C-alpha cells in the first residue's frame, strides 16, 4: 500500500503532524494517518516515501464556470462588473469544437493543479460529457436568470430545464444573482430543488448592485436597457442585495454566496441566522482583481467565524483555474490570514459547502481526498508558514 511522509502532514480537520505518515490503498482511500511520536505507533510494512514539502488533501474549487473556458483573455481587465457581464453575454458563442477543446483542457489542468472537486456553474450542456469522464468530482449549479423581468420568468425557466435534466448529479437549480432573477423565477427554482441540494448565488460584487436595491437607481438601469429590459416595474426594497436574495431563496438549502466583495459583518450574521443548513462564502480573489481591482475585506469573515471557500470563477475573469494561485493572491494582499486558515478555506470548507466532505477535504481514514505535496512554502514551521511566489503543488494521488 502506498505510504508517504513529509516534514509536516496537514490533515486540516486536526492539528499538523510533524513527520506524519499517510497510508492509502491502491484507490487512494486513506487507511491510516499516523504520528511517529505517538504512543503505540507502528511503522508501515514498507518504508514510506519521503516527500519534499508538506502533505495536504486535494483542493476544492467551490466556484467555477468551466463552460466559459474558451473566453480566456477576451475580456480586458479592469472593465468593472457591468461591462464585463456584457462581454460574457455577447462573446460566448464560438464554434462548438473550440468550446469543447477548451473545456477538456481546463478540466485536465485543474486535476494536475491538485483540484479534487469543483462547484461548477452551468448555463448550457457543454461541460456535461467531460464531467462524466473526469477524475474531478463536480457539483453542477444550473444557473438561471431572466434579467429581473417577471414576464420572462416562465420562458427563461423552461429553457433551463433541459440543461438541468442533462447535467450529471449532484446538481441543483440556482439563481444567478439578486439583480438578474425575478420573484416568479426564484419560486420556480425553489420548486425544482426537491432534495437536500446546495445552492449558490453571486453576491455583492459591485457598488452598483447594492445601490440598485437600496435606492432603485444607478448603473444597472442602463445595463438592463442594453438588453432590451426595463426596471420600471422594480421597487427597491431599501436593503443591500443579499437581504433581497434571502427573502426569496429557500433557507432550508445549504447556501453558497459567491464573491461577497462588499459583504458586511451585519450581512454575514443575518445570513447565518437565516440559513437552516449552513451558509458558506466563496471568494474568488483573482477574479475580483481582474474585473474591479478590489478584494473583499477578509477580516470581516475572520471576525465572524464565517465559513469561507475558495473559487476561481471563469477564464473570462481569471488568468488560470488554479486554487493555489488564489491562495497566493490572498497571501500577497492580505497576509494577516494564517496558512492553516487558508488551507481550510481551500479544502474542507469547500467540501462541506458542496456536501462532499464525507470523501474530500481532509486527510482522514476512509476518505479519498487526493493527496498533494505543497512545496517551497515560506517560513520554517506551521506557525509562520505562508504561500509565496515560488510555492507549488504536486499531485501524489
> pLDDT (tens digit, 9 = 90+) per residue, 30-63?
999 999 999 889 989 889 999 999 999 999 999 9
pLDDT of residue 40: 86
pLDDT at 315 over 80: yes
Q: How far apart are CA 316 and CA 322, in angstroms?
A: 14
DSSP string, 128-184: HHHHHT-SSEEEEEEEE--TT-GGGHHHHHHHHHHHHHHSPSSEEEEES-GGG--HH
pLDDT at 103 over 90: yes
pLDDT of residue 42: 92
Whether residue 244 contacts residue 237, with contact meaning beta carbons closer than 8 Å, is answered with yes
Confidence bin at 227 (pLDDT 50/70/90): confident
pLDDT of residue 92: 75
Q: At 57, is the secondary structure helix, strand, or coil?
A: strand
pLDDT of residue 270: 98
The overall average pLDDT reported for the chain is 96
**What average pLDDT does this structure show over 87-113?**
92
Whether residue 214 contacts residue 204, with contact meaning beta carbons closer than 8 Å, is answered with no
pLDDT at 124 over 90: yes
pLDDT of residue 316: 95
pLDDT of residue 93: 78
- pLDDT tens per residue across span 143-162: 999 999 999 999 999 999 99
The model's pTM:
0.97
pLDDT of residue 280: 99
Q: Which three cell numbers stand for residue 286?
A: 483573482
- pLDDT tens per residue across span 255-286: 999 999 999 999 999 999 999 999 999 999 99
From 58, 57, 60, 14, select the one nearest 34 (Cα to Cα): 14
Confidence bin at 8 (pLDDT 50/70/90): very high
Q: At 370, is the secondary structure helix, strand, or coil?
A: coil
Q: How far apart are CA 68 and CA 323, in angstroms?
A: 17
**What average pLDDT does this structure show over 174-201?**
97
| Number of Cβ within a 10 Å radius of residue 160 | 22
Please give the share of the chain, as a percent, with pLDDT higher than 70: 100
Query: What architecture does CATH give domain 59-354?
Result: Alpha-Beta Barrel (3.20)
pLDDT of residue 125: 98
From 348, 345, 347, 360, select the one nearest 170 (Cα to Cα): 360
Vertex 218: Cα angle to 243 and 236 (nearest 5): 35
Confidence bin at 205 (pLDDT 50/70/90): very high
Q: The cell 444597472 sits on which residue? A: 220
pLDDT of residue 13: 98
Q: At 324, is the secondary structure helix, strand, or coil?
A: helix
Amino acid at each position: 500500500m502506498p505510504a508517504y511522509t513529509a516534514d509536516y502532514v496537514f490533515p486540516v480537520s486536526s492539528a499538523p503532524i510533524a513527520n506524519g505518515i499517510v497510508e492509502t490503498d491502491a484507490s487512494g482511500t486513506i487507511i491510516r494517518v499516523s504520528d511517529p511520536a505517538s504512543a503505540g505507533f507502528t511503522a508501515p510494512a514498507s518504508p514510506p516515501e519521503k516527500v519534499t514539502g508538506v502533505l495536504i488533501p486535494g483542493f476544492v474549487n467551490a466556484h467555477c464556470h468551466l463552460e466559459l473556458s474558451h473566453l480566456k483573455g477576451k475580456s480586458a481587465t479592469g472593465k468593472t462588473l457591468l461591462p464585463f457581464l456584457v462581454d460574457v453575454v455577447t462573446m460566448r458563442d464560438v464554434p462548438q469544437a473550440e468550446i469543447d477543446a477548451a473545456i477538456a483542457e481546463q478540466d485536465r489542468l485543474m486535476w494536475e493543479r491538485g483540484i479534487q472537486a469543483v462547484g461548477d456553474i452551468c448555463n448550457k450542456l457543454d461541460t456535461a460529457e467531460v464531467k462524466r469522464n473526469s477524475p474531478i468530482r463536480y457539483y453542477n449549479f444550473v444557473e438561471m436568470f431572466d434579467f429581473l423581468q417577471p414576464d420572462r420568468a416562465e420562458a427563461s425557466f423552461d429553457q433551463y430545464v433541459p440543461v438541468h435534466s442533462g447535467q450529471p448529479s449532484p446538481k441543483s437549480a440556482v439563481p444567478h444573482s439578486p439583480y438578474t432573477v425575478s420573484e416568479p423565477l426564484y419560486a420556480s427554482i425553489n420548486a425544482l430543488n426537491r432534495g437536500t441540494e446546495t445552492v449558490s448565488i453571486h453576491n455583492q460584487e459591485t457598488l452598483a448592485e447594492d445601490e440598485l436595491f437600496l435606492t432603485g437607481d444607478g448603473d444597472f438601469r442602463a445595463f438592463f436597457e442594453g438588453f432590451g429590459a426595463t426596471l420600471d416595474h422594480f421597487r427597491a426594497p431599501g436593503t443591500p442585495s443579499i437581504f433581497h436574495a434571502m427573502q426569496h431563496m429557500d433557507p432550508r438549502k445549504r447556501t453558497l454566496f459567491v464573491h461577497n466583495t462588499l459583504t458586511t459583518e451585519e450581512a454575514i450574521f443575518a445570513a447565518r441566522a437565516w440559513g437552516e443548513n449552513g451558509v458558506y462564502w466563496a471568494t474568488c480573489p483573482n477574479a475580483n482583481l481582474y474585473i474591479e481591482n478590489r478584494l473583499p475585506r477578509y477580516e470581516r469573515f475572520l471576525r465572524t467565524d464565517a465559513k469561507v471557500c475558495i473559487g476561481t470563477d471563469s477564464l473570462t475573469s481569471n488568468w488560470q483555474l488554479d486554487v493555489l494561485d488564489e491562495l497566493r493572491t490572498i497571501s500577497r494582499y492580505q497576509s494577516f490570514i494564517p496558512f492553516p486558515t487558508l488551507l481550510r478555506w481551500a479544502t474542507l470548507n469547500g467540501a462541506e459547502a458542496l456536501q462532499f466532505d464525507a470523501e474530500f477535504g481532509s486527510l482522514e481514514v476512509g476518505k479519498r481526498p487526493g493527496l498533494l505535496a505543497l512545496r517551497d512554502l515560506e517560513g520554517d514551521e506551521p506557525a509562520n508558514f505562508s504561500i509565496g511566489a515560488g510555492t507549488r503543488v504536486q499531485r501524489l494521488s
